[in-house]
């Protein structure tokens, strides 16, 4: 686990010190909801920070031990601020991933009815995910951008001047309504109820031990833009039968037309086939940035890990049984292969 890896890091000078986890605040964000699903984080000190960049910078500078941030949404795709910071601005390692079902609710101060609403506040990504509801139910409502869904609920609940004067609702998680004294007017206003967000925790050092159901993330930089350059990268994975779960390009921010490739693949750097693949990529490309190997999320993950663990124990017992039959070099006992007619 990430906390195990951190106990050996230079920043953890007192073994009894509580783990500090930074997340996108304020309280009531989906990020915090996702954090609450991790039982081994329950005793940690949660530190709400203003932005995703602040979270990752705080980890880099040692202000917190772990950062917990969204990295991908099923509808909007990659969270660019997160992936760009990990690839270009910091040297952090992903410790785990957590997938959370995303349900958005329209909430307002007590006494405000749906027909009263003239403004809707939320982070633009969330507003976009409720486009159909807003067009059908609140076509004249003005959209007000906030730093996060929970921040919209906080500003509304605390009577911030930004949202004062006009009947306003917020689109936010259920947790935010209870935290900031708002009433939910309409539940599940998202256009796609199957929406999910993938979160990751990151640390300065440490790679979690392989579990048998792991994911590895890397960024590949091309030495030159030439025909077949992407194929030369993908060929390394295909030749080893390594399954890619994600592949996308991101501008390198150096020149127009220069891109790197963000790759998620099944497996762990402790697996020899993965290590061999990354070794060849590093030798052939201008650069490969390793972003981490970590337990893969998913409902089937624990079962897969149990099966792998059981299979490994059986295989280990089989190897031990075979090794027990090896004749030592000083033994006078002859093997059947030494017998002659």
Q: Is residue 283 in a domain?
A: yes
Question: Do residues 150 and 213 share a domain?
Answer: no
Q: What pLDDT does 39 receive?
A: 92
**Residue at 335 is within a domain:** no
Nearest one of 288, 285, 281, 290 to 226, comparing CA atoms: 285
Please indicate, yes or no, whether residues 64 and 78 belong to a single structural domain of this protein.
Answer: yes
- In 3-state terms, the chain is what percent helix, strand and coil (to 5)? 35, 25, 40
Q: What is the rounded average pLDDT of the residues 93-105?
A: 96
Least confident range of 116-130, 255-269, 322-336: 322-336
Residue 341 has pLDDT above 60, yes or no: no
- Range of the structural domain that residue 132 is part of: 105-186
Question: Same structural domain for residues 136 and 83?
Answer: no
Asked whether residue 331 is domain-assigned, the answer is no
pLDDT, residue 5, reads 43
Residue 140 maps to a domain: yes
For residue 152, the tally of other CB atoms under 10 A from its CB is 32
Is residue 154 domain-resident? yes
The pLDDT tens digits for 11-23 are: 455 556 789 999 9
pLDDT digit string, tens, across residues 239-298: 998 999 999 999 888 878 788 899 999 999 999 999 999 999 998 876 899 999 999 987
pLDDT of residue 143: 95
Q: DSSP readout, 302-316?
A: HHHHHHHHHHHHHHH
Average pLDDT over residues 96-122: 95
In a domain? residue 131? yes
Is residue 133 domain-shared with residue 216, that is, in the same domain?
no
**Of the listed ranges 111-125, 154-168, 286-300, the one predicted with least confidence:** 286-300
Task: Identify whether 19 is part of a domain.
Answer: yes
**Beta strands 119-122 and 196-203, pairing class:** unpaired
pLDDT at residue number 228 = 66
> Which residues does residue 14 pair with via DSSP β-bridges, in sequence order?
none
Tens-place pLDDT, residues 213-223: 899 999 998 76
Instruction: List alpha helices for 116-211, DSSP H.
Output: 124-128, 131-137, 149-157, 174-179
* 335 pLDDT more than 60: no
CA–CA separation, 213 and 302 (whole Å): 8
47-52 CB contacts, 8 Å cutoff, 24+ apart: 47/20, 47/21, 47/22, 47/23, 48/22, 48/23, 48/24, 49/22, 49/23, 49/24, 49/25, 50/25, 50/147, 51/24, 51/81, 51/147, 52/24, 52/79, 52/81, 52/82, 52/85
Residue 67 shares a structural domain with residue 133? no
Q: What is the mean predicted confidence (pLDDT) over 76-91? A: 92
Residues 318 and 211 in one domain: yes
**How confident is the model at residue 224, as a pLDDT?**
64
Q: Is 330 within the bounds of a domain?
A: no
The model carries a pTM of 0.78
In sequence order, which ranges of 130-216 are alpha helices (DSSP H)?
Answer: 131-137, 149-157, 174-179
- Dihedral-angle region of residue 73 (phi above 0 means left; psi in -120 to 50 means alpha; beta otherwise): beta
């Amino acid at each position: 686990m990430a906390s195990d890896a951190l106990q050996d890091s230079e920043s953890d000078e007192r073994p009894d010190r509580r783990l500090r986890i930074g997340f996108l605040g304020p309280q009531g964000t989906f990020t915090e909801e996702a954090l609450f699903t991790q039982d081994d984080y329950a005793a940690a000190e949660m530190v709400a920070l203003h932005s995703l960049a602040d979270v990752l910078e705080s980890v880099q500078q040692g202000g917190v031990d772990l950062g917990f941030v969204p990295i991908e949404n099923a509808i909007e795709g990659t969270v660019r601020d997160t992936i760009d910071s990990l690839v270009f601005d910091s040297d952090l390692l992903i410790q785990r991933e957590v997938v959370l079902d995303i349900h958005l609710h329209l909430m307002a101060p007590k006494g405000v009815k749906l027909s009263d609403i003239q403004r809707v506040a939320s982070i633009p990504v969330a507003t976009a995910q409720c486009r159909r509801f807003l067009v059908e139910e609140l076509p004249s409502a003005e959209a007000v951008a906030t730093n996060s869904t929970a921040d919209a609920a906080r500003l509304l609940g605390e009577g911030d001047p930004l949202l004062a004067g006009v009947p306003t609702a917020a689109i936010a998680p259920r947790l935010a309504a209870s935290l900031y004294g708002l009433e939910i007017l309409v539940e599940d206003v998202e256009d796609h109820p199957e929406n999910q967000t993938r979160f990751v925790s990151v640390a300065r050092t440490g790679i979690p031990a392989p579990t048998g159901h792991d994911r590895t993330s890397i960024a590949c930089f091309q030495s030159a833009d030439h025909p077949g350059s992407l194929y030369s990268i993908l060929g390394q994975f295909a030749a080893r039968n390594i399954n890619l779960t994600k592949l996308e390009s991101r501008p390198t921010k150096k020149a127009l037309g220069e891109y790197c490739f963000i790759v998620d693949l099944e497996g762990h750097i402790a697996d020899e086939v993965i290590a061999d693949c990354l070794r060849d990529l590093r030798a052939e490309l201008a650069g490969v940035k390793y972003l981490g190997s970590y337990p893969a999320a998913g409902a089937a993950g624990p079962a897969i890990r149990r099966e792998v663990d059981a299979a490994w124990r059986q295989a280990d017992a089989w190897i031990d049984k075979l090794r027990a039959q090896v004749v030592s070099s000083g033994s006078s006992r002859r093997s059947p292969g030494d017998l002659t007619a």
